[in-house]
Chain A
Amino acid sequence: MIVNTPSAREAVAITGIGAVTPLGHSFEAITDSLLAGRSGVRSIDPGEFARESQQFAAAVDSVPAPPDGVCMFNGQEFAALTRLEQMVVSPVAHALADAGLSQHRDRLRIGLVLGLGAEQLKRWELDFLAGGRQVFEPSPTDTLVHQVARMMNLRGPAVTVAAACASSGYAMALGRTWLKAGWVDACVVGGCDVLSPTALAAFYNLRALSRRSDDPAKASRPFDRDRDGFVMGEGGACFVLEPLSAARRRDARVYGELAGVGVSSDAAHMVTPCSDPTQAARAITQALADARVTADQIDYVNAHAAGTPVGDAAEAGAIRRALGSVVDRVPVSSTKSMSGHLISGAAAFEAVACLAAIARHAVPPTLNLDHPDEHCQLDHVPHVARERSVRVTASNSFGFGGANLCLVIREAA
């Protein structure tokens, strides 16, 4: 394919972060929680339709209102939005403000890519639970990405992407591509998800969720031999991406560089993780090659590891294959042990975890990793954070439909 752009070799910087998560809503608060090993998993009231065994998750109490001047509405109007709309609008607005670009939207092509795997399902469900009939009699409405682009006067391309649990990571990858192709000047990327009775029930009935309801904070135990499924969470994160040179010219805070992307598909099964690590390992290898780093330069791997028996073992195999002989010297942890699984928002949240590791030179731990599974042999970081120099990180995300994604995020030059 022919792309006539001078920006293809330009590094892509992360200059703004907005987040809504069970572990806090600012970069500093999330970083503190991750490195302190705090769990966001707790008992919840999932509504009248759920069973006792579904009454725990990593929930968000309240969604912070957008900063003044970024959106076209006030706090009262924000409060009237649905929970899904709040979860999208808030991190986009905070990311723009954090990057210092909210005042420059008129003369920039700012793109928007949101990873929302089940936007329609959640919209219909929220409406149904409030007594509405949209799912039976739908009226044409724009998707959230176009509503938010209008709301925030963003003049670049706007796309919703879905790759199940890798959705927000694909959003980051797509925004990076647009920058490198010269199609945008900056791009807001990320994604989120909200808890809902249907999603809880569907994942429970798939036998994908942990049933450890007696001790919610111990339920999410990636790589542990006693893991029995994941714990649902909600929230997500958005980032502003822009060329590193542009960020340096305007003295923007640079959190890190989105240095490499690798993607592949297992093409094996719509739901069950593939036991053959070939394609997942290929995504990791591609990302390293794209970032022009070697396995021995990786200081931290944030694993997808959700705590499912099959998925964690498959990922450990993929990491071992991709990193080869240095694998036992590369710390690996799963922050889902603290945040739960944010589904569409997971990859973006875990990118925040990588930036946290870079900022504080410490690797977040995997909570509840009491007895590492012999089929998941890696350099684990159990229970407490590990201090070490962190300059280059890799973050894996895998989703239904066999979607594999790896992002390399590193300290900016």
Chain B
Amino acid sequence: MHGSIPNAEATSAACGVASHALVEATLAEIPGLRDQTVPEGVPALPSRYLRHCDEQTVVGIRAVLAAIAAHPEPRPSFADYGVVAAPCQAGRIATAQSLAMLRTAGGVAVSPHVVPQCSLHSLAGAVSVALGMHGPNIGVSGGRHAVSEGLFTSLSLLAADESLPGVWLVVSGWTAEPSLDATGKPDCGRTQEARLGPICRALAVAVTASADAVADRGISRRLTLHMPATLRVARPAAESHGAADEILDFALGLAAGPAASWSHTCPWGAEIRLAPHAVARDGLRVEHGSTPRREAA
């Protein structure tokens, strides 16, 4: 080993948030979401498109459709958007059923849909195909750090390609993993407990390459990433909670009023902040924590 390794420098990046929506459903409610009509003004899904999809894909696509419906006018084309989807333990119910069938009936009984529809890529692919988005589509995480990995990857895609106008970030997970019987069948609404929960939660966020002047429900917001020069020495071991709590926390941050802000620290020490980004009518842009400056007319 010769020579030296350069010292790291802290870096930052910023992008905008154009729209968001949170959708929640119990197991008993998900079959209804598979066939539900889309909100007014939103592109229709192909016929029976959600028939074989994993539960988190169903709820995740509904969240994207709701966020498109909530997008401020004029609504842009999303044809060149990318998709980053971060489900948590997706495909478990279908996998359990496939494994149970494998044992009782052999390979002939395994569903051909289990790989394309119930893997980590499936939610991202389903959003891309359903809504005709030709930017990159990738699944990320699969575990409890779905919010960290989803946000960081979304910012990475936007940093990688200046021509990418935006990314739909979808994060999803269960508040508690549904209990399954020996055939992999969930207790779907037969008891009061099942009707009340657990809940499948999905948050869709339109993250835009431009950090400027995109109003989400009248509030302009900016997502900033700060990568410190020195990262954490040790990562925390797994804790008991899943991704659903962090998804709700992020959603509450997005839904908060103009004065509110939200921040999230990734397991590796990077900090992602959501902050208001006010734009006055005369073009004066005010960034919190910085000196106001007048932009060119």
Q: Is the interface of B mostly helix, strand, loop or mixed?
A: loop
Number of B residues contacting the other chain (C-beta, 8 Å)?
98
- Contact pattern, B 136-172, Cβ under 8 Å of A = 1, otherwise 0: 1111111111000100110111111110000000000
- Docked pose: A270 CA to B123 CA in angstroms: 10
Q: Tell whether, in the assembled complex, residue B98 and residue A198 are in contact, meaning their CB atoms are under 8 Å apart.
A: yes
Q: Tell whether, in the assembled complex, residue A268 and residue B141 are in contact, meaning their CB atoms are under 8 Å apart.
A: no
Q: Tell whether, in the assembled complex, residue A142 and residue B238 are in contact, meaning their CB atoms are under 8 Å apart.
A: yes
Instruction: Assess whether B122 is interfacial by the CB under 8 Å rule.
Output: yes
With A135-B99, A146-B143, A401-B126 known to touch, is A2 a contact of B119 (CB < 8 Å)? no
Q: Tell whether, in the assembled complex, residue A135 and residue B3 are in contact, meaning their CB atoms are under 8 Å apart.
A: no
9 new A-B contacts, CB < 8 A, other than A198-B102, A400-B122, are: A2-B12, A49-B102, A104-B1, A109-B8, A157-B268, A160-B141, A202-B98, A205-B112, A402-B128
With A140-B239, A142-B237, A161-B138 known to touch, is A121 a contact of B268 (CB < 8 Å)? no
Instruction: Pick the residue among B82, B83, B96, B231 that contacts A135 (CB under 8 A).
Output: B96
With A143-B145, A160-B149, A202-B98 known to touch, is A400 a contact of B121 (CB < 8 Å)? yes
Query: Can you report 15 A-B residue pairs in the complex whose CB atoms are below 8 A from each other?
Result: A1-B210, A1-B211, A4-B12, A51-B107, A120-B90, A140-B242, A141-B238, A162-B140, A164-B116, A164-B125, A174-B156, A205-B108, A206-B115, A270-B117, A401-B116
Q: Which of A111-163 contact B (CB under 8 A)?
A: 116-121, 124-125, 128, 135-138, 140-143, 146, 149-150, 155-163
Residues of chain A lying within 8 A (CB to CB) of residue B149? 159-160
Instruction: Assess whether A5 is interfacial by the CB under 8 Å rule.
Output: yes
Residues of chain B lying within 8 A (CB to CB) of residue A85? none
A interface residues (Cβ-Cβ under 8 A, vs B): 1-6, 49-51, 54, 100, 103-104, 107-109, 116-121, 124-125, 128, 135-138, 140-143, 146, 149-150, 155-164, 167, 170, 173-174, 176-178, 180-183, 185, 197-206, 246, 249-251, 261, 263-271, 279, 282, 399-403
Q: Is the interface of A mostly helix, strand, loop or mixed?
A: mixed
Q: Tell whether, in the assembled complex, residue B1 and residue A100 are in contact, meaning their CB atoms are under 8 Å apart.
A: yes
B interface residues (Cβ-Cβ under 8 A, vs A): 1-6, 8-9, 11-15, 82-83, 89-92, 95-96, 98-99, 102-103, 106-108, 110-122, 124-126, 128-129, 131-145, 149, 152-153, 155-162, 177, 179-182, 184, 209-211, 227, 230-235, 237-242, 266-268, 270
- Docked pose: A136 CA to B122 CA in angstroms: 21
Q: Tell whether, in the assembled complex, residue B89 and residue A263 are in contact, meaning their CB atoms are under 8 Å apart.
A: no
